[in-house]
Amino acid sequence: MIKSFMHYIKNSHGASATEFSLLAPVLVLLLVGTIDFGLFIKQELQLQKMVSETASYAARIQGDSNLDAVAEGAYEGDFSKVTLDTVLECSCSDGAAQTCPADCADDDFERRYVSISASGTYQPLFPYPGLPEQMVLQSTARMRID
């Protein structure tokens, strides 16, 4: 009987299948986590692209009209989950922020800027321990418009 037991201990048939069955769940969890993180980064890049394109449009038209429609067209995801804030800022050439139109000195000139901030949320595919159920995405762009 001891001889038969020793034969099974030394037998290596099926060892790789056993090792794979032990490592497969860990590898699947790593794969799912990597895919989920990639989707998070993709949505964040889409938000940054939308903010950048909207600020560029505002600089071309030299104003802040119709920016919500431009932002909605530039965003490649669900725009209903995005909050967009647009602020028209003015300053004199010395850098002092003022309300628009700026009241600058005679030898000074006004600079106008548009500041666009967007925020959204990303919900992971699965609830991960230690991570919130929703992650906040934010992006801001500020561009001189004249």
Please compute the mean of the pLDDT values over residues 68-93 and round it to a whole number.
85
Please compute the mean of the pLDDT values over residues 74-87 and round it to a whole number.
86
Percent of the chain having pLDDT more than 70? 94
Q: Which residue has the tokens 């800027």?
A: 113
Task: Check whether 8 has a pLDDT greater than 70.
Answer: no
Which tokens is 79 given? 């725009």
Distance CA 68, CA 81 (A): 13
Which tokens is 1 given? 């009987």
Spatial neighbors of 63 by CB under 8 A, at least 6 apart, are: 88, 114, 145
Q: What is the pLDDT of residue 91?
A: 82
**Domain residue spans of the chain:** 10-144
Spatial neighbors of 106 by CB under 8 A, at least 6 apart, are: none
Task: Check whether 136 has a pLDDT greater than 80.
Answer: yes
User: The whole model's pTM is what?
Assistant: 0.76
pLDDT in tens, 55-70: 888 888 877 678 888 8
pLDDT in tens, 30-58: 999 999 999 999 999 999 999 999 988 88
